[in-house]
């Protein structure tokens, strides 16, 4: 075993060179972007039993045959809006289905998990499909490993998912023509969607003090109102973002001051910096759109991520289940950079920031000792289109080998 | 009467001189004489050298000198970009954009010309400048058997004539089944097109032999007139098949539908031959060989055609790659997915290839080249595929794709590395004239920051006005109402007329779940 103690490592946070252990996964790189505040030049990461056990400067000397050495390493990326769930993942017989868990309807054998993994996304939050106002509980899980929920779950019931805007009412219509259809119902408009949200929240508030008024899903709604789980709501356009934020403020006036709100796909969030900062709302951004046009006619300015970051709004980027070259999560970070987001902020927006937003940062999101051994290996500087993900390590296992 | 005529003439003369004067004044202001000296922190010439702190001298629209510390006329207008990169600009080897419609309904339509379809004020050309593209080969689309002739243009100018770099730059033939055709009927239609040409020409010769003047009369009837190149007949050129005694027929008498086809067979015009699937490649190569235009053929390939790479390599034809760079295929039995990086296959086989950027400005040529590098291709090869190679395919390598003495005065100023996602186009010079300036590009400003031009529906001032009501001291209920109402109004104007109708319930058109969202980016 190579056991070379080196002179002091300069310029890398005082990390000393260290020996390479035998029974572990060790990856070397010209640069390691830890997303924990430092960049290690000529570094190495050691993973033992699935967890990162050591990070440091690689020993000098000849590279050994078969040694895994890449241009750059970042933490495994985290996508909070994985969007590989489909219509089968939301119970559409009712508009509010807070008592359901998307975990029960996930197909872990679906190919999209593997594609996401290959593109460097190691952790995702899978959400109920946004055809309901309040769809149910989301789950944070790994994109690879043994295909069982037990093995893959990072955190169950990580957020209560819902949706504003035109999507939840999209299928509904007034009771005309075919009144027997269960889509002949409310809401059929944006305001109807908002009404359903508000009504379910007030119903939950009344039920809290009065057991007779309990209904299916009341516990889950109360958990969200009491801040035990965040509310994770899709709202693309400015009017929908406002609706969500106003609802949060309204609940605060009713005494539910701990309610947490995360906006998903907030394309137009750049218009609402004041609202977002004053309510401490986090925003997950949709994929880049070259002409700025996104769902619900929301205009997605290219500097959206940069503006939000500048205002102190916690942000995360998302690829919406597109893992093709030029569209994957790493590329979203690149496009956010083109809109003025700094490299460090772009790195955080696909790693530690989403992990913090969802409260899973103890396990994932950065390269730190004790965290999951999830790494992305790059053939050049990350978040440039001229570089790509060449390897992926998931909990210590080299699932995509760059060699 | 005479007096009046004279007066009118005098008026015209005055008007003309005034017009001339005003044009001259404009010219002086905007520098349209094609003389400029560009200095940049870095000059990427693409002739093999990159010059730090380089100078490019452009006179009369052409580059006359490029280098470090070179001399230029004392009175030259100098534009300095000490922190930016000068670059010859990307070359779009083939595009179906910038036209009214890219396809005609007729199978064999060699008489068509994209000149009549190019729209100089199309957003596409404006976007091309923004993406650093300086030359575009506009060709008809692939929904044809034999299509029209294309034009090589610069993405700037108010008329097609002003934009044109090379007219009649090639003709389109498609091995891809035209809508409504199968592969077999398409192949048949292709054979018939050339067979039909041969029969037509033989008939013409026979009529001449018989002393009939049908062709002359038809030509006159159609309003065609001979010019010095067409007044005489010539023996048929080309090396595959020939019609004897074609010199008996003056060229101007040959029908407009058939003449371009004859030029194809004679090997006089480049042919852009579309193939979508590997099976098309065989049809295409056979057609080109049988009709003698193989040496003038450029294959325009869909992503799956990599499977025919050996065949293509043997043909030695240059190729233009369209569509996705990654070909994903699932094994029908095992279900296993395999991915192929398409340009990589061509590079490996030594095939000369150019990249093409389709119709999305987000996936422009810089993006294509950058992705190739990400997938492991050398920077030189990837860069060549979007600059010098398409230029060479068009036969314009001396004029475009590089910055060298004699080349067109096209310079794109990038804020950094042209292939970096963080770089942007600062300025573009075409033929020595400044045609794009990011600082005054309001559309770019809107895309990047959401800023609206002043006095439009959702300009910043109006949004400010809305936000006045966000003040937290306002009573809560009121605040919500005021904010929302005002916002809705604003939004309503913004959305007006874009066809996104959310209240179509009222007209009772609802069928089941028939609520379609245009621009739905939801996936799944």
| B147 and B282 share one domain | yes
| A234 and A262 share one domain | yes
Of A51, A65, A55, give the one whose Cα is nearest residue A20: A55
pLDDT digits (tens, 9 = 90+) for B417-467: 999 999 999 999 999 999 999 999 998 999 999 887 766 655 555 556 655
Report whether B102 contacts B95 (CB < 8 A): no
Domain count for chain A: 2
| B44 and B65 share one domain | yes
pLDDT digits (tens, 9 = 90+) for B300-332: 999 999 999 999 999 999 999 998 899 999 999
Helices (H), B210-304: 214-221, 259-265, 278-290
Report whether A50 contacts A94 (CB < 8 A): no
* b/e burial code for range B11-27 (CB count within 10 A of at least 16 → b): eeeeeeeeeeeeeeeee
pLDDT bucket at B18, cuts 50 / 70 / 90: very low
pLDDT digits (tens, 9 = 90+) for A59-112: 876 677 778 999 999 999 999 999 987 777 777 778 888 999 999 889 999 889
This model of the complex carries an ipTM of: 0.87
All residues of chain B having their beta carbon less than 8 Å from the beta carbon of residue A324 are: 324, 326
| A259 and A377 share one domain | no
Domain count for chain B: 3
| A247 and A283 share one domain | yes
| B488 and B386 share one domain | no
Asked whether residue B317 is domain-assigned, the answer is: yes
Tokens found for residue A292: 């700025």
pLDDT bucket at B509, cuts 50 / 70 / 90: very low
Look at residue B169 and tell me whether its pLDDT is greater than 90.
Answer: yes
Q: β-strand B411-414 against A69-75: which pairing, if any?
A: unpaired
| B83 and B95 share one domain | no
Distance separating alpha carbons of residues A307 and A272, to the nearest angstrom: 10
Q: How far is CA B244 from CA A22, B253, B258, in A?
A: 82, 17, 17
| B69 and B151 share one domain | no
| B66 and B138 share one domain | no
In the block, tokens 């045609």 appear at B435
pLDDT bucket at B367, cuts 50 / 70 / 90: very high
Q: What angle do CA B42, B47, B52 make, to 5 degrees?
A: 20
Distance separating alpha carbons of residues B386 and B355, to the nearest angstrom: 6
| A161 and A289 share one domain | yes
All residues of chain B having their beta carbon less than 8 Å from the beta carbon of residue A84 are: 524
Of B95, B324, B519, B444, give the one whose Cα is nearest residue A326: B324
Which range of residues forms the domain containing residue A50? Answer: 1-75+367-403
| A358 and A371 share one domain | no
Report whether B330 contacts A112 (CB < 8 A): no
Which range of residues forms the domain containing residue B291? Answer: 89-184+271-396
Find which of B128, B416, B450 to mutate to test the A interface (most A CBs within 10 Å of its CB): B450
Q: What is the pLDDT of residue B469?
A: 57
pLDDT digits (tens, 9 = 90+) for B202-233: 999 999 999 998 889 989 988 888 888 888 88
> Across-strand partners of B339?
B328
Question: How far does B113 lie from chain A, in Å, by closest CA?
Answer: 30
Q: What is the pLDDT of residue A211?
A: 86
| A208 and A316 share one domain | yes
Asked if A275 and B476 come within 8 Å (Cβ–Cβ), the reply is no
Asked if B512 and A181 come within 8 Å (Cβ–Cβ), the reply is yes
Considering only the beta carbons, identify the residue of A290, A299, A335 that sits closest to B360: A290
| B473 and B349 share one domain | no
The answer for residues whose C-beta is within 8 angstroms of residue A224's C-beta and 6 or more apart is A98, A160, A230, A231, A259
Asked if B505 and A383 come within 8 Å (Cβ–Cβ), the reply is no
In chain A, the residue whose alpha carbon lies closest to the alpha carbon of B490 is A239
| B57 and B124 share one domain | no
Of B215, B241, B235, give the one whose Cα is nearest residue B226: B215
| B436 and B296 share one domain | no
For chain B, what is the radius of gyration of the CA atoms? 28
Find which of A385, A388, A390, A403 to mutate to test the B interface (most B CBs within 10 Å of its CB): A385
| B417 and B289 share one domain | no
All residues of chain A having their beta carbon less than 8 Å from the beta carbon of residue B367 are: 326, 385
- Mean pLDDT confidence for A273-291: 94
The phi and psi torsions of A51 (rounded to 5 degrees) equal -115, 150
Asked whether residue B216 is domain-assigned, the answer is: no
The interaxial angle of helices B460-467 and B476-495, nearest 10 deg, is 160
pLDDT bucket at A21, cuts 50 / 70 / 90: low
- Mean pLDDT confidence for A341-349: 97
| B361 and B420 share one domain | no
Distance separating alpha carbons of residues B408 and B411, to the nearest angstrom: 9
The enclosing domain of B81 has a CATH number of 2.30.40.10
pLDDT bucket at A320, cuts 50 / 70 / 90: very high
The enclosing domain of B386 has a CATH number of 3.20.20.140
Report whether B204 contacts B253 (CB < 8 A): yes
DSSP class per residue in B457-477: TT-HHHHHHHHGGG-TTS-HH
pLDDT bucket at B73, cuts 50 / 70 / 90: confident
Question: How far does A385 lie from chain B, in Å, by closest CA?
Answer: 5
Q: What is the pLDDT of residue B406?
A: 96
């Amino acid at each position: 075993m190579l056991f070379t103690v080196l002179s002091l490592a300069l310029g890398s946070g005082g990390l000393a060179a260290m020996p390479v252990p035998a029974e572990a996964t060790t990856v070397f790189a010209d640069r390691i972007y830890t997303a924990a505040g430092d960049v290690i030049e000529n570094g190495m990461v050691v993973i033992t039993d699935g967890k990162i056990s050591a990070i440091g400067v690689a020993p000098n000397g000849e590279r050994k045959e078969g040694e895994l050495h890449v241009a750059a390493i970042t933490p495994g990326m985290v996508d909070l809006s994985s969007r590989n769930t489909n219509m089968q993942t939301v119970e559409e017989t009712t508009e509010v289905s807070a008592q359901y868990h998307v975990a029960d309807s996930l197909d872990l054998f679906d190919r999209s998990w593997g594609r996401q993994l290959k593109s460097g996304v190691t952790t995702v939050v899978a959400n109920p499909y946004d055809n309901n106002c309040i769809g149910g509980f989301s789950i944070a899980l790994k994109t690879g490993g043994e295909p069982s929920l037990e093995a893959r779950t990072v955190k169950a019931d990580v957020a209560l998912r819902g949706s504003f805007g035109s999507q939840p009412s999209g299928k509904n219509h007034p009771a005309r023509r075919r009144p027997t259809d269960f889509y002949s119902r409310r809401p059929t408009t944006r305001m109807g969607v908002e009404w359903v949200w508000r009504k379910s929240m007030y119903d939950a508030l009344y039920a809290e003090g009065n057991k007779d008024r309990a209904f299916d899903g009341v516990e889950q709604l109360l958990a969200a109102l009491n801040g035990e789980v965040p509310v994770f709501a899709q709202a693309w356009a400015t009017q929908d973002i406002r609706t969500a934020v106003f609802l949060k403020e309204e609940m605060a006036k009713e005494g539910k001051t701990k309610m947490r709100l995360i906006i998903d796909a907030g394309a137009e969030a750049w218009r609402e910096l004041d609202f977002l900062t004053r309510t401490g709302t986090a925003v997950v951004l949709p994929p880049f759109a070259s002409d700025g046009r996104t769902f619900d006619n929301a205009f997605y300015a290219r500097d959206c991520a940069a503006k939000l970051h500048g205002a102190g709004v916690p942000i995360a980027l998302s690829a919406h289940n597109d893992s093709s070259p030029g569209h994957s999560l790493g590329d979203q970070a690149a496009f956010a950079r083109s809109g003025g987001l700094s490299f460090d902020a772009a790195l955080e927006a696909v790693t530690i920031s989403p992990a913090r937003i969802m409260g899973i940062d103890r396990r994932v999101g950065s390269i730190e000792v004790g965290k999951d051994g999830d790494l992305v290996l790059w053939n050049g500087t990350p978040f440039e289109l001229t570089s790509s993900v060449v390897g992926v390590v998931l909990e210590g296992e080299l699932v995509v080998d760059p060699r | 009467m005479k007096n009046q005529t004279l007066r009118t003439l005098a008026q015209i003369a005055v008007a003309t001189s005034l017009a001339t004067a005003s044009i001259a004044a404009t010219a002086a202001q905007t520098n349209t004489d094609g003389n400029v000296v560009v200095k940049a922190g870095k000059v990427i010439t693409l002739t093999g050298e990159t010059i730090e702190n380089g100078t490019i001298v452009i006179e009369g629209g052409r580059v006359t000198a490029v280098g470090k510390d070179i001399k230029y006329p004392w009175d030259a207008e100098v534009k300095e970009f000490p922190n930016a990169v000068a670059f010859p600009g990307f070359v779009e080897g083939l595009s179906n954009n910038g036209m009214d419609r890219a396809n005609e309904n007729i199978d064999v339509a060699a008489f068509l010309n994209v000149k009549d379809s190019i729209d100089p004020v199309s957003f596409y050309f404006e976007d091309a400048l923004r993406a650093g593209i300086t030359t575009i080969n506009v060709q008809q689309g692939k929904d044809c058997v034999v299509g029209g002739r294309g034009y090589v243009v610069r993405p700037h100018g108010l008329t097609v004539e002003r934009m044109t770099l090379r007219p009649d730059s090639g003709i389109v033939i498609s091995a891809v089944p035209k809508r409504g055709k199968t592969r077999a009927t398409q192949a048949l239609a292709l054979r018939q097109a050339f067979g039909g040409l041969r029969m037509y020409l033989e008939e013409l010769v026979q009529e001449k032999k018989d002393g009939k003047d049908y062709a002359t009369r038809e030509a006159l009837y159609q309003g065609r007139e001979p010019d010095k190149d067409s007044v005489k007949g010539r023996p048929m050129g080309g090396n595959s098949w020939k019609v004897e005694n074609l010199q008996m027929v003056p060229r101007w008498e040959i029908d407009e539908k058939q003449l371009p086809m004859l030029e194809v067979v004679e090997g006089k015009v480049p042919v852009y031959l579309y193939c979508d699937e590997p099976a098309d490649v065989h049809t295409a190569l056979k057609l080109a060989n049988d009709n003698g235009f193989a040496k003038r053929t450029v294959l325009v390939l869909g992503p799956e055609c990599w499977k025919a790479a050996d065949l293509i390599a043997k043909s030695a034809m240059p190729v233009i790659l369209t569509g996705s760079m990654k070909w994903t295929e699932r094994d029908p039995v095992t279900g296993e997915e395999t991915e192929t990086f398409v340009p990589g296959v061509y590079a490996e086989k030594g095939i000369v290839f150019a990249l093409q950027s389709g119709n999305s400005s987000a996936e422009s040529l810089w993006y294509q080249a950058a992705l190739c590098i990400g997938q492991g291709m050398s920077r030189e090869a990837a860069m060549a595929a979007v600059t010098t190679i398409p230029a060479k395919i068009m036969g314009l390598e001396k004029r475009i794709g590089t910055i060298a003495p004699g080349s067109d005065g096209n310079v794109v100023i990038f804020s950094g590395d042209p292939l970096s996602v963080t770089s942007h186009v600062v300025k573009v010079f075409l033929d020595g004239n400044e045609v794009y300036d990011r600082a005054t590009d309001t559309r770019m400003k809107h895309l990047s920051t959401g800023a609206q031009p002043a006095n439009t529906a959702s300009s910043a001032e109006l949004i400010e006005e809305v936000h006045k009501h966000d003040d937290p001291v306002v009573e809560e209920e009121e605040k919500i109402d005021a904010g929302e109402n005002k916002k809705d109004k604003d939004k309503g104007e913004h959305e007006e007329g874009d066809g996104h109708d959310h209240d179509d319930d009222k007209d009772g058109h609802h069928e089941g779940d028939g609520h379609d969202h245009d621009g739905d980016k939801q996936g799944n």
